[in-house]
Structure 1
């Protein structure tokens, strides 16, 4: 079967009930196309052209991702998707076999047949999805993507939550791509970002699904479909009601939500999306070691796209780490920073980070407005806060490190914001992904992302209250220090 390696682009390969049209990157089962992502097709082509051989995992990764650093789990996710799409293991038919410690092998017989007349896409059943074409690889999200792909068909309602710029939509779309072949009636992206009126939510869904005006949601009752509800944070109540109704109406329906705040819907599983991994200072001994961290991978990948031939050197590692750390490992911020590499170079970029909201202003013109700049992403969250939530966010920005609720109350409470109310507002900011909350030795501690804190501090300065609350912070620290008799870290008191 080695002769299959020299195939021309018009070749058609047959195996089982499938025909793989290489030129059109199309797999047909009869006249029905299999819904499959581009990477999965790349992997399948390598395996089919070398049917009967064992192709190592490293070799597959090198051929399918020649310019990217990816983890092995990414390959496993795609292999699993391929097996599902092909019905591998059903009715005794096997296609892709894992050879322990060696790699993968395509074990079904493959034959090359004359291409004949090329299949016209117009004659093939229409792909049932509206997912946008992905222009760049997804970096550092293999683990959570794999988890969502496995869980979503079973749990049915999952919400991907996190702050603006963390990459929720990117992850959701990747999950949707990998599940294309699982849902018989398609996968549909429903973006609510452009809608402010809750009364339009159901109509927007119907319009996105390209249903006739006046159609009711009952049409979905028997559909095996995945809906991706993107950007729901400003329509929480209506989206919550809609998804609860849909899941009762359509038992084969699954819904993946992205939102800066969970819906609090019945049956909802919430998955918080973390920042990309930033290397510690101890991981800067070699370029290879630093490139093992997803924040660095993304920065280098986007910098190379901006400036061909750029190479990461050992003398660059401290600057790159500092850029990624100061930007909290936020994919949006890192992408925007890497986009400035040709104008400022690394040293200039690092020096300008104190002015990050002015610096990071040149995003992709094709992106939605809230993703074109870092400030726009934060504006989107801030403008949807209540007045008291905005006030608390501003006042808490005087904390340079993590803090307890007692500290927040000691610095920020007043006659209007009494302790009980302030505690509730702090939790609301956590729910809206503007603060993070962790348990440390049994005590809840709250923390800002660096970028969010800087944004809130600018708002506090604009309010004319910055010096007032910096003094209150200093007085609180002094009282705690006197009461404990233990000096506090200098970064808290400087």
Structure 2
């Protein structure tokens, strides 16, 4: 057991080949600084100062994140990063791995198990020792809710998979998850992590220039300068530049073997060895959970709504009589984080009952967005506008007509209701497949049968567009006729004649 006494800011803690300079918040291996993020250094300091003792997970979280509510995965990720650093350093080459420095004590916590000795700061430090890991990540102002599993999966896989794509509809939180993963991997990459926001450009010809201008490559540099980089690139919002992004990513994977790429997009890039990770909605409680406040609060959609409502209205608290209304709000908003955040922002003006009553008019209700967000993330309608405007005219038409379906439907049902001479079955099938790839229509398997479904928010948006086109009444009647006569052999023939 180590006995560290009178540890002050000018103390240096030595273990193995490492020296931890507390005042400079720096760990040196010989004269080389280790690349550790701020949270990792905080955790290491707590463990080293109490070397030989067990520090519980709760205590570590309380010490390192004193004013935040964070997931336990944050702690596990930083512990794993510390172990990786010590395993890859001289300490690992001397026959030890990271666990010989930081041990997991089952059901109790963690313990720093290597011998530690302390001394006063007397050694001059190398001039570049204070350099922080390079990045251009924006400051995160709020905790992330309900994404532990997907964040953990990405953090574990990215360093070995190299190219992963987060896919999902607008408002699902792809950028939020990607930036959190980048934060947690900051200390892993020698040349840092870099977000390249492609929503800022529309011309594919600007893609390479935008990338090189975002990265610290110097004037006149091209992508060849990334050949030796050990870095993570977050290519954010790629869906409107798919061809250009596909070519760029394939080039980077070939020419920069130590580069990892995390893509966010509403559809896959379809590059070689791309690993797709669909981002699901937040969890909405079932009706059976409504008898318990604690049970409802265990669902991530409700957690997000309550946390944002509290930020908006001081003293907001969820009561048992509110459970049905909150569940209905989260359900009707499809568990989409953006929609839930925008709804919670209205809590002081409308209260829960008012929010629930306004759900059928959701795009007018959800208009008070985050002024610091890019325009297409400030409101739900703006986010859907951005997707809709990039569809081909026939894709827009099909999306509008599909909105008359009030629940999941098969491709046969879609053919009966919306196909016509100008939209034959062969074209309709390929367009529906395209809309599914673009995350505007979701697919589900029910007893071996593939069904399509529009999210409630997407359906409301498309119905509004169908009404503006003047065809809403026509297709509502055709849908009603299909429901009433779906078993009649002539139903499809009648529907085609009506369309013509």
* TM-score under structure 1 length normalisation: 0.89
> How far did 1:248 drift?
0.9
Q: Contact 2:195–2:235 at 8 Å: present in 1 too?
A: yes
> How far did 1:71 drift?
5.1
Provide the C-alpha distance between the structure 2 equivalents of 1:468 and 1:292, rounded to a whole number of angstroms.
43
- Confirm or deny that 1:172 pairs with 2:198: no
Provide the C-alpha distance between the structure 1 equivalents of 2:433 and 2:185, rounded to a whole number of angstroms.
34
Q: Are the structure 2 counterparts of residues 329 and 13 from structure 1 closer, same or farther at C-alpha, using a change threshold of 3 Å?
A: farther
- Confirm or deny that 1:400 pairs with 2:406: yes
- 1:373 alignment partner, one of 370, 379, 392: 379
Moved more, 400-409 or 44-53: 44-53
Match of 1:82 in 2: 82
Pairing 1:416-435 to 2, within 5 Å after superposition: 416-435=422-441
Q: Contact 2:283–2:301 at 8 Å: present in 1 too?
A: yes
> How far did 1:124 drift?
2.3
Moved more, 460-469 or 348-357: 348-357
Provide the C-alpha distance between the structure 1 equivalents of 2:353 and 2:28, rounded to a whole number of angstroms.
52
Q: Contact 1:371–1:377 at 8 Å: present in 2 too?
A: yes
Moved more, 112-121 or 123-132: 112-121
> How far did 1:443 drift?
1.4
Match of 1:313 in 2: 319
Q: Contact 2:133–2:186 at 8 Å: present in 1 too?
A: no
Q: Contact 1:261–1:432 at 8 Å: present in 2 too?
A: yes
Q: 1:179-203 deviations in whole A, cap 9, x for unaligned? A: 2222222211111111111111111
Moved more, 317-326 or 8-17: 8-17
Q: Are the structure 2 counterparts of residues 125 and 23 from structure 1 closer, same or farther at C-alpha, using a change threshold of 3 Å?
A: closer
Match of 2:139 in 1: 133
Q: Contact 1:328–1:450 at 8 Å: present in 2 too?
A: yes
Pairing 1:59-458 to 2, within 5 Å after superposition: 59-61=59-61, 63-64=63-64, 72-87=72-87, 90=92, 91=94, 92=96, 94-110=100-116, 114=120, 124-458=130-464
Provide the C-alpha distance between the structure 2 equivalents of 1:177 and 1:323, rounded to a whole number of angstroms.
31
Q: 1:252-280 deviations in whole A, cap 9, x for unaligned? A: 11111001111111221111100011111
Provide the C-alpha distance between the structure 2 equivalents of 1:350 and 1:15, rounded to a whole number of angstroms.
59
Q: Contact 1:55–1:104 at 8 Å: present in 2 too?
A: yes
SS at match of 2:233: strand
> How far did 1:36 drift?
4.5
Provide the C-alpha distance between the structure 1 equivalents of 2:215 and 2:30, rounded to a whole number of angstroms.
26
Provide the C-alpha distance between the structure 2 equivalents of 1:351 and 1:120, rounded to a whole number of angstroms.
63
Q: Are the structure 2 counterparts of residues 425 and 46 from structure 1 closer, same or farther at C-alpha, using a change threshold of 3 Å?
A: same
> How far did 1:32 drift?
5.7
Structure 1 vs Structure 2 CA RMSD? 2.9
SS at match of 2:55: coil
Q: 1:43-97 deviations in whole A, cap 9, x for unaligned? A: 4444344332222334444555667665544433332233224437723153221
Moved more, 11-20 or 111-120: 111-120
Q: Are the structure 2 counterparts of residues 45 and 303 from structure 1 closer, same or farther at C-alpha, using a change threshold of 3 Å?
A: farther
Q: Contact 2:282–2:301 at 8 Å: present in 1 too?
A: yes
Q: Are the structure 2 counterparts of residues 113 and 386 from structure 1 closer, same or farther at C-alpha, using a change threshold of 3 Å?
A: farther
Provide the C-alpha distance between the structure 1 equivalents of 2:293 and 2:254, rounded to a whole number of angstroms.
52
Q: Are the structure 2 counterparts of residues 114 and 69 from structure 1 closer, same or farther at C-alpha, using a change threshold of 3 Å?
A: same
Match of 1:490 in 2: none
> How far did 1:295 drift?
1.1
Provide the C-alpha distance between the structure 2 equivalents of 1:393 and 1:162, rounded to a whole number of angstroms.
17
Q: Are the structure 2 counterparts of residues 229 and 115 from structure 1 closer, same or farther at C-alpha, using a change threshold of 3 Å?
A: same
Provide the C-alpha distance between the structure 1 equivalents of 2:365 and 2:375, rounded to a whole number of angstroms.
16
Q: Are the structure 2 counterparts of residues 115 and 147 from structure 1 closer, same or farther at C-alpha, using a change threshold of 3 Å?
A: same
Provide the C-alpha distance between the structure 1 equivalents of 2:5 and 2:176, rounded to a whole number of angstroms.
34
Q: Contact 1:31–1:124 at 8 Å: present in 2 too?
A: no
- Confirm or deny that 1:465 pairs with 2:471: yes
Q: Are the structure 2 counterparts of residues 32 and 345 from structure 1 closer, same or farther at C-alpha, using a change threshold of 3 Å?
A: farther
Provide the C-alpha distance between the structure 1 equivalents of 2:487 and 2:153, rounded to a whole number of angstroms.
45
Q: Are the structure 2 counterparts of residues 123 and 21 from structure 1 closer, same or farther at C-alpha, using a change threshold of 3 Å?
A: closer
- 5+ residue gaps in structure 2? 491-500
SS at match of 1:159: strand
Q: Contact 1:276–1:294 at 8 Å: present in 2 too?
A: yes
- State which structure, 1 or 2, has the greater radius of gyration over its C-alpha atoms: 2
SS at match of 2:139: coil
Q: Are the structure 2 counterparts of residues 22 and 293 from structure 1 closer, same or farther at C-alpha, using a change threshold of 3 Å?
A: farther
How many equivalent residue pairs? 484
Q: Are the structure 2 counterparts of residues 472 and 220 from structure 1 closer, same or farther at C-alpha, using a change threshold of 3 Å?
A: same
Q: Contact 1:84–1:181 at 8 Å: present in 2 too?
A: no
> How far did 1:30 drift?
6.2
> How far did 1:481 drift?
4.6
Q: Contact 1:69–1:297 at 8 Å: present in 2 too?
A: no
